[in-house]
Chains A and B, each alone.
Chain A
Amino acid sequence: MASWPGDFTHLHVASSYSMRYGTASPAALAERAGQAGMPALAVTDRDGLYGAVKHAQACVDAGIRPVIGVDLALRDSAGTGPGVGPSAGPARLANETAGRVTLLATSGRGGWGSLCHLVSAAHRSGPRGVPGVTPGLVAGHSGGLIVLLGPASDVGRAVAARRAGLAAAALARWRERAEVVVEVVDQHGPGGTAAAARLLRFARESGVPAVLTNAVRYLAAADQPVAQVLDAARQLTPLGQRHLTGHNAQAYLKSAGQMARVAARICGPGPGAARCGPGGCDDPAHELLAATAALAERCSLDPAADLGLGRLHLPEVPGGDEFAQLRRRCQEGMHRRGLSGPGAQPWRHREAARRLARELGVIATKGLASYFLTVADVAALIRDRGIRCAIRGSGAGCLVNYLIGISDIDPIDHDLIMERFLAESRTTMPDIDLDVESARRIEAYRAIIERYGEERCGCVSMMETYRARSAIRDTAAAFGLPPHEIDAIAKAFGHIRARGIRAALADLPELRASNLAMPQLTSLFRVAERLDGLPRHIAMHPCGVVLSGGTLLDRVPVERSAEGLPLCQYDMDDVEAAGMIKLDVLGVRMQSAMTYALTEIERTRGEQVDIDAIKRDDKPTFEMIRSGHTLGCFQIESPGQRELVVRLEPRGLGDLIVDISLFRPGPVNSDMITPYLDIKHRRRPACYPHEDLADALRETGGVVIFHEQVLRIIHVMTDCGLSEAERLRRKLSDASARPAIKERFGAAARRRGYDGTTVQRVWEVLEAFGGFGFCKAHAAAFAIPTYQSAWLKRHYPAAFYAGVLVHDPGMYPKRVITGDARLSGVPVLPVDVNASAADWRVEPVARRLDDGADRPAASSFPLSPARARRGGGRGAERRRVHRIGPVEGLRTGLREVRGISDAEAERIVTRRPYESLRDFWERARISRPVTERLVLVGAFDSVYARSPARSAGPARSPSPTRRDLLARVGVLAGPAARAGAGGRAGASRRAGRERGTTQHVHSMLPFGDVGGDGDGLAGLVPAGELPELTAAERVEAELEILGIDISQHVIGFYGEILHALGVVRAGDLHRCRSGASVLVAGVKTSTQTPAVRSGQRIIFATLDDTTGQMNLAFFESVQPRCAARVFGSWLLLVRGRVRRPGRFRPRPGQPGRPGQPGQQDRAVSVNASECWDLAVLEEIRLARGMGAVRAAMAAGDVPGPGLTAAEPGGKAQPAKQAQPGGDSAGKVVYPTGFTLSPYAETGSAGGSMKDPPRKLWHASPGSSGGWAAPARRPGA
């Protein structure tokens, strides 16, 4: 044939939004198509329109026109085929083999709306996540749609199978219902050309137009391995399985010339090639290509006209004239908030009226009145349900939000400004974020959806994408590695990007020390890196709700979330591009924790505390914050924050706002903190770049901390107005835009009469801190829950801890929270079948002081044991204060027991009290493993405790030990009981039912109650038959079953070795001089690798040793020998030097502020130089004595759990010298010289910090499952 002179448009293209199928982003595809001179490009993703908006935008950028369609699985019309079943898992696999059709939207005939509706219907018609269509389903939404019937369709498959009748019938089914086009594909596989020719001939003979596509799924042939790995991951099968072989690398975005050759191959001479029909044509290949181009023209969409992008689609507000409504509501709000009317302060009224006029002006200009009314309605809706709801983010700076009840923060009080939130210069929609209780977030969503209806409202989705761990998991599975190896390899990596896998192997000491860099794994890692960023599956965005006018479903395809909520197939960016409101309704665990605390206060004391009405200047609360005892509090519980609050000495909400703003990577690493603190504590005078800026910077003594200050500086210097200042501020973080801004700023400032030096000085400030500042409105919004949580901790500690333990809002494992509770004088009570609720509860307890050293005396907040021992002074005073009133303890919740179900926990609670183990076994009907765990953690101890009443009986035997009870569980659940036709009503229900008997087990068991303690089992397992668990075994059981050492701190078992080594306790660390070399030890409670100034990756770790928390820093120089151990071990012994930052010393002759003596002492940390696994050292001590321990420590190669199993007996590989600069993965450098390590904030390698390792006493024989036989434990 003559070469094809025309264009070619790919009409069947899977982008990376075809999950685990396509490999190229819409942007990359559109760019390639644009470069190749194609007029248009389709994206027809599988199962949804997830990439549609991005594709439309990418096409605009690439100067081509978008074609949009979807590739959907076919369901059997009978409704019995693959994909129709109760569960999605098998259905999803069955869908892999189902036929598929592609549907394209045509321009201008409602095609886009039909496509959205059809995709929603396809998802609705099957189990979640397994969409599919039938011809009948398509018929319902076929207006403006074209059905492409390709080789994978029912028609195509019948033709390939040479079943002409079947093919004709299938085609007829489609033609009756929709406009149909046959899609011919030849990917040059075995038999491919012949099959394509046969399908083309069938189309010609049936009189259906045919087009050519390449069923594209990657950009270039080189991407094929990635596609094959995705196939394997999707089909849960290793590479090389028969159905995955025979593939080639031809499914790429071929050029027009290449596609013309494909057409020629299909149509050209040769067996099976198509010939022109009787109608006649010059060249069948030309005809095929021309038909393709014609269809592409019909389906090229206009992003604005067809998709409705770039326009606002806000919800309608009943009552008409939204702006008048909003103005009226604001005026009402002025009265309600005391800003107008008789009681209002004149200056506040004037200021509020002025701001209101300005804000309403902007809102009117931008046509956003209905937006504000809608959000106000949503906030009221949530609060009406009794769900705590608070604003977060820049919206707190907007007076309108305050007046109409969205926000509770008075922007005038806190000197917040609106422009950071809403300004004429902002082109994007304003964002209002609402924080609600995490536990009731879904309830809040349901309320919103109920109110607005699914035709206006849905949840925003987000794509989970491949990162290092997930990419390694899927690739390794495709390579056929065994699951445990896959797990070990994946967990060795932190939460880094997949593309950085090999760089991390080279850069990170803990990975260098592993033997993962072996050649066998290289090709695996190489492919895994190429999965980087590809979407894996759709998930509900953690907070996004979309609101629009009543035509949402015409513009957005919707599926179901796991919770059954309507889930838009668009992410946050798409929703905004589509002109809809996205409202962030964020679940905040702390809000739930506080609600729980408040209900506990009411339940136990009958007090109703209105946490939103408490005074916000409570002295004891700030005293506690200043002491750094803020573990568990919102925002200020991390080691770094605790250090900062101690140094900053907050005395009011304003200080908390500063504190929250300062604790960000930028300010921390640009060293803004020390100058600020020096000025705040009057060690240095305040200093302003120019006296005109004093007003703007007075609250922080001249240090720029807030975005709002940046805006004011720009405004003062240039008189540009705050709106324009906001526009400039946003550009400051873009280095390429900075010179132009500098130019403008300088010129305007000089016009205002500022001299060159001043302009330069101010510009330097802006440049350095403009990008780093923090939105004050956001910090103000955060400061409220921070204060509230601290207030609760100070005044109702037990209730506070209960809330924190139930809703787990923080960064620490629960055992750290219980440890903190004990230090604060709140006893932690064990699980008790007769006392525990499902969740943690406050429980009044009689004071017991016989708990030993591990429970220090109660105090209003914890003192270091050293100070407590010293007694006297303030400590004694506080203790006395606290002893008034009953002591409240924390009762461990049943749900902490590993493996217990909610139903079991509920049964235990509703059916108690229990008189004995047997009573419990028969009535609570709890599974045997859970019952055994309850026994092991002492949940039955109180049942058998010798109370005066019980021991008064004549023939009480001694109380059974936990081992006795464990043996009795065995008897109750054992074959004898079961053979006896119903060991208990529950466990042997089946047997019982079959024999129609519910005879009581007492009579059936082959033994009687001799000397009984209520179980009737004492004959077989007399009390005291087996020895009681040792203290160490109890703690081991608690850690394994609850994850919390309740009876005593685990470090207690290492007393001997710690004493022998002269280890310093956390509580005494502040007494060591700065720079002293110390040994410290404890349980690792956190590791962090935050961004730091130098661009180093510093590992910050926290250890806990009953007396408090210790902060450790491991710098890069020590990481080669320490990193693997820090991440891999749970119990650590560390050598390092004491460091005290910013210790306050009043200058001679100048009285210091009346700070709390000793408070600064708390800001002590240790720069680590060496570390060891304490459990391993203890084993050496037990086996060979202290001399061997010291020798092993000196040798420095104590074996211990690393991140992956090292070769047995082998030494860790000698660490490679860190590369010069160590930046093979590329550091990020900021204008202030602040350099960011690519591994900052990547989370830690190894397992979750929140769970203790399953194997606690490393390599101790029989440490699990050995309960029945006492085994020696360290320190036992």
Chain B
Amino acid sequence: MYGEPIKVTVQDGKPVRFFWRGRLHSVLAVLEHWVVSREWWQRNSPDTDTPPEREFWRVEARPGEEVPPAVYELRRDVGTGDWLLVRVWD
């Protein structure tokens, strides 16, 4: 899975804005949100008995009023809190 680290602003537990390629994207709508566990058995001896989870957000967003919205898939690692932009459909 390909991804680029990004910075995301969260309100009420939902992403509302994120920076990508130097541009601020505003989230217009959350299309889908789901959670997947990481494949804990592939890690060598994870320290926790709870497998780390990843949150996925598929959102409609655009980097400005003039740009037509596109669909972005963001991923958050629940353990570290880091965000990744996983894919873009435009």
Contacts and interface: CB of A to CB of B under 8 A. Distances in A.
Nearest to B42: A240
A248 interface: yes
B41 A523 contact: yes
Report the contact-size class of chain A (Cβ under 8 Å from the partner): 20 to 34
A270 B51 contact: no
Given A193-B32, A271-B31, A249 B49 contact: no
A192 to B, nearest CB: 6
A245 B36 CA distance: 9
Given A225-B40, A479-B41, A194 B32 contact: yes
B2 to A, nearest CB: 18
B61 to A, nearest CB: 15
Contact of A224 (B34, B42, B51): B51
A246 B36 contact: yes
Nearest to A220: B50
B36 A247 contact: yes
B39 interface: yes
Nearest to A226: B49
B53 A249 contact: yes
Given A240-B42, A479-B41, A526 B49 contact: yes
A523 B46 contact: yes
A188 interface: yes
Contacts of B50: 221-222, 224, 249
Interface string A228-246: 1000000000011000011
A530 B39 CA distance: 18
Contact of A250 (B32, B35, B41, B56): B35
Given A224-B51, A248-B37, A519 B32 contact: no
Contacts of A240: 39, 41-42
Given A224-B51, A249-B51, A188 B30 contact: no
Nearest to A522: B45
B33 interface: yes
B44 interface: yes
Given A239-B39, A519-B45, A523-B45, A190 B34 contact: yes
B8 to A, nearest CB: 19
B40 A188 contact: no
Nearest to A239: B41
Contacts of B39: 239-240, 245
A1250 B48 CA distance: 42
Contacts of A192: 34
Contacts of B34: 188-193, 248
Contacts of B53: 221, 248-249
A759 to B, nearest CB: 52
Contact of A222 (B35, B41, B49): B49
A921 to B, nearest CB: 54
A520 interface: yes
B32 to A, nearest CB: 7
Contacts of B32: 190-191, 193-194
A530 B40 CA distance: 15
Interface string A509-521: 0000000000110
A240 B50 CA distance: 17
Interface string A318-344: 000000000000000000000000000
A1089 B10 CA distance: 61
B44 A519 contact: yes
Interface residues of B, number: 22
Given A225-B49, A248-B53, A271-B31, A190 B41 contact: no
Contacts of A479: 41
Contacts of A248: 34-37, 53
Interface in B1-52: 29-37, 39-46, 49-51
A1066 to B, nearest CB: 49
Contacts of B29: 270
A247 B37 contact: yes
A239 B45 CA distance: 16
Give the most central of A192, A240, A249: most B CB within 10 Å.
A249
Given A221-B50, A225-B49, A225-B51, A188 B35 contact: yes
Contacts of B30: 270
A239 B37 CA distance: 13
Interface string B47-75: 00111010010000000000000000000
Contacts of A478: 41
Most buried by A among B32, B40, B41, B42: B41
Interface string A800-813: 00000000000000
Contacts of B46: 523
A1194 to B, nearest CB: 41
A192 B34 CA distance: 8
B68 to A, nearest CB: 18
Interface in A152-190: 188-190
Interface in A254-282: 270-271
A646 B31 CA distance: 83
A645 B39 CA distance: 60
Contacts of A228: 41
A973 B28 CA distance: 81
A1238 to B, nearest CB: 22
B1 to A, nearest CB: 12
A221 B48 CA distance: 12
A481 to B, nearest CB: 11
A246 B37 CA distance: 7
A193 B57 CA distance: 12
B42 to A, nearest CB: 7
B75 to A, nearest CB: 12
B43 to A, nearest CB: 8
A247 B40 CA distance: 12
Nearest to B43: A523
Contacts of A270: 29-31
A193 B33 contact: yes
Contacts of B41: 225, 228, 239-240, 478-479, 523, 527
Contacts of B35: 188-189, 248-250
A228 B51 CA distance: 11
B52 to A, nearest CB: 10
B37 A249 contact: yes
Contacts of A523: 40-41, 43-46
Contacts of A222: 49-50
A224 B52 CA distance: 11
Contacts of A249: 35, 37, 50-51, 53
A1065 B32 CA distance: 80
Looking at A248, A271, A520, the one whose CB has the most chain B CB atoms below 10 A away is: A248
Contacts of A221: 50, 53
Contacts of A225: 40-41, 49, 51
A520 B44 contact: yes
A194 B34 CA distance: 11
A1159 B32 CA distance: 85
A320 to B, nearest CB: 62
A522 B39 CA distance: 16
Nearest to A190: B34
B66 to A, nearest CB: 25
Contacts of B51: 224-225, 249
Contacts of B49: 222, 225, 526, 530
A527 B30 CA distance: 36
What are the 5 tightest A-B residue pairs by CB atom distance, in nearest-first order? A222-B50, A248-B35, A190-B34, A188-B35, A523-B45
Interface of B: 29-37, 39-46, 49-51, 53, 56
Given A249-B37, A523-B46, A527-B41, 8 more contacts: A188-B33, A193-B33, A193-B34, A221-B53, A240-B41, A523-B43, A526-B45, A530-B49
27 contacts: A189-B34, A189-B35, A189-B36, A190-B34, A190-B56, A191-B32, A192-B34, A193-B32, A193-B34, A224-B51, A225-B40, A239-B41, A240-B41, A240-B42, A247-B37, A248-B35, A248-B36, A248-B37, A248-B53, A249-B37, A249-B53, A270-B30, A271-B31, A519-B45, A523-B43, A523-B46, A530-B49
